Structure 1
């Protein structure tokens, strides 16, 4: 399973939404108090992902939004279906595959762009 995070600033227009594929991608996101670890509890993220993976009827593609409260609690905000997501900087063919996966699931059709069958 490949996981990509998309981060958006709390303060409007501080930076545009950004796809996070590695720790290095967090550089320049601002408002991280010089230490991006400060903002979220990794154990909560792991628990969210574990529960998502165990969900039998999970969507093939979606976004999961998290937030951190002023008192430091990491919370699940919402889950958005991929059919309505913007690209937020994803490479065009990866975004197309994301949409194809979810629409194929919704329409109960074969996903002709499912790369897993070619491995």
Structure 2
């Protein structure tokens, strides 16, 4: 994996991901992006591992390796989207490097035992 800059990832995230993975916890189609980032970071705290995991997941989402089984129960399994690995790598770098501040609402959601699976 190359040393990918997150600069292009923000635009690609907006084009390819944000319509489903909104920044709001009132998501209707897919889990909010900050929840996804939180779960993937917990399992893969190193940047390269985080990016590799996102690439692998977007390329071939599989329920048996999902980090968010509760989200699958609520939203169903993410469809295979056919995005290029290069684009997903940029998006993943952006998501990892982004200074994500978990919303108060999400912190409360986690305190109630949600978002722990």
Normalising by structure 1, what TM-score? 0.27
The answer to which structure, 1 or 2, has the higher relative contact order (CA under 8 A, 6+ apart) is 2
Normalising by structure 2, what TM-score? 0.27
Between structures 1 and 2, the one with greater strand share: 1
Between structures 1 and 2, the one with greater helix share: 2
Kindly name which structure, 1 or 2, has the bigger radius of gyration based on alpha carbons. Answer: 1
